[in-house]
Structure 1
Amino acid sequence: MIGTITNTATVIAGSLLGLLIHSRMPRKISGIVFQAIGLFTLVLGFTMAFKSDRYLIMIFSLVLGAITGELLDIDAGLNSLSDRLKTRLKISHAGFTEGLITAFFLFCMGSMTILGAFEEGLGGEPTLLMTKAVLDGFSSIALAASLGVGVLFSALPLFLFQGGLTLFASWLHELFTPEMIAALSAVGGVLLVGLGLSILEIKKIKIANLLPALIFITLLAYIFP
């Protein structure tokens, strides 16, 4: 868990620095930074999405995940949870929920998250997660400067998700093949493309309602190797 703990610490440190910048940043600058983040998210998502050519199980996973997520209404649940946290902590920033969810997806849907967690979970040195920690630290500065304090609180779900993947890999590592991990990363890339479209305000997509697709792609890649 050393990699995840380090990653969480760099996000917290970067977010705090970004919040200091945020209070002094002109609105037009924060706007263009936000657009740059959206464009980067699109590029990252497309890059990841094409790492696997198992398109049939990918589309089935996305469709089944979308139906499941919509029935459970995960997006509304996450927003409600974030709003309650915002109220309890008496945070007045209007973009708290958006910042938290956007940062969580950017930090947790990348291939380095999955591969790095599996690397450490399988007993290797957390090289990928240490590299990711540095990248996320710098990214959190820009994100917090543009989106505000919600980015800081994304460190908690980052720790739970990435740490959970690491423990999961240590328990069930024999089940996962490189092809399964590639397919999982590819679906994560599709979710990032959707996030990029939402950030750029091209199309608002409930990315949280697509999260079950990550479970379905894992199951389908295992059933159909």
Structure 2
Amino acid sequence: MILLGSLVNGLAIIFGSLLGAVLRNISEQMKDTVTKGIGLGVVVLGVQMAFKTSSFIVILISLCLGAMLGELLGIEDKMNDLGLKLEKRFAKPGSNFAEGFVTASLIFMIGSMGIIGAIESGVANNHQTLFTKAVMDGFLSIMLTATLGVGVLFSAVPVFLYQGIIAFLASILMRYIPKELLDVLMMEISAIGGLMILGIGLNIMGISKIRVSNFLPGILILISIVLVQFYL
């Protein structure tokens, strides 16, 4: 079952979110401290991932072009609009539902772990990486829900779809991609994802308000550049 890892990851987020909703009565001071701790961890993770690149110039070009395209497409605004629509349906007006949905979706979706884990699920039916990610996301969703609200729970849907689609496509396409190219792609995707994760960490700690969603097209631009370099 190639979608097993993605399904377990989604369920872990749901379970963690439900538990976090129960724990929402913990003190604001504790929430703030733990949330900033999560932010610090996310920053460190982002820095570690960013250093994996073999060409920082390519990463920077991809990130900047991706940001321009993302701003033109209004990705961040569209994700917030989706969150607000869900908020009207499932949460009280004035809550931070949209922020929870968008923040959690980005944290759980961006990064090489989900991509590589989904590829392993699709190619080798090996779900160990996604099982490990599920444990991490489950614990993180507890504190995110306690801090940002029930919007975090709904991030399980895009996480499942995102990883599930990658796993499904991997089961079909990856057999035709040379291993050398796959290794380079994973390394560079990890690096650009790390910079985005770094931005998320800074946002969580309240240091910045980076529109991280609008950087997402940079991943596709990066893949295109790597493909051109590999075959030239």
Unaligned runs of 5+ in 2: none
Change in Cα spacing, 1:93 to 1:43, as seen in structure 2 (3 Å) is: farther
Match for residue 85 of structure 1? Answer: 86
Deviation at 1:93, TM superposition (A): 6.0
Looking at structure 2, the residues matched to 135 and 204 of structure 1 have their Cα atoms a distance apart, in angstroms, of 24
Deviation at 1:188, TM superposition (A): 0.7
1:190 is matched by which residue type in structure 2? L
Looking at structure 1, the residues matched to 222 and 110 of structure 2 have their Cα atoms a distance apart, in angstroms, of 14
Change in Cα spacing, 1:91 to 1:166, as seen in structure 2 (3 Å) is: farther
Looking at structure 2, the residues matched to 54 and 207 of structure 1 have their Cα atoms a distance apart, in angstroms, of 21
Match for residue 112 of structure 1? Answer: 113
CA offset digits 1:76-126 (Å, max 9, x no partner)? 111111101111224346221111111112111132101101111112311
Which of the residues 203, 206, 217 maps onto 1:201?
206
Match for residue 172 of structure 1? Answer: 173
Deviation at 1:145, TM superposition (A): 1.6
Looking at structure 2, the residues matched to 93 and 15 of structure 1 have their Cα atoms a distance apart, in angstroms, of 20
CA contact (8 A) 1:83 1:97 kept: yes
Match for residue 58 of structure 1? Answer: 59
Between 207-216 and 162-171, the greater mean CA deviation after superposition = 162-171
Match for residue 143 of structure 1? Answer: 144
Looking at structure 2, the residues matched to 78 and 111 of structure 1 have their Cα atoms a distance apart, in angstroms, of 21
Match for residue 101 of structure 2? Answer: 100
Once the two structures are aligned, what percentage of the paired residues are identical? 40
Looking at structure 2, the residues matched to 31 and 90 of structure 1 have their Cα atoms a distance apart, in angstroms, of 22
CA contact (8 A) 1:107 1:136 kept: yes
Looking at structure 2, the residues matched to 69 and 181 of structure 1 have their Cα atoms a distance apart, in angstroms, of 22
Deviation at 1:56, TM superposition (A): 2.0
Deviation at 1:171, TM superposition (A): 2.4
Match for residue 160 of structure 1? Answer: 161
| 1:214 maps to 2:219 | yes
Deviation at 1:51, TM superposition (A): 1.4
Give TM-score scaled by structure 2 length: 0.92
Deviation at 1:71, TM superposition (A): 0.6
Which of the residues 175, 183, 186 maps onto 2:188?
183
Looking at structure 2, the residues matched to 151 and 193 of structure 1 have their Cα atoms a distance apart, in angstroms, of 19
Match for residue 49 of structure 1? Answer: 50
Give TM-score scaled by structure 1 length: 0.95
| 1:133 maps to 2:134 | yes
Q: Aligned-pair RMSD on alpha carbons?
A: 1.4
SS in 2 for 1:224: helix
Looking at structure 1, the residues matched to 14 and 49 of structure 2 have their Cα atoms a distance apart, in angstroms, of 26
CA contact (8 A) 1:93 1:148 kept: no
CA contact (8 A) 1:33 1:146 kept: no
Looking at structure 2, the residues matched to 121 and 91 of structure 1 have their Cα atoms a distance apart, in angstroms, of 39
1:69 is matched by which residue type in structure 2? G
Q: How many residues align?
A: 224
Between 118-127 and 152-161, the greater mean CA deviation after superposition = 118-127
Looking at structure 2, the residues matched to 118 and 45 of structure 1 have their Cα atoms a distance apart, in angstroms, of 21
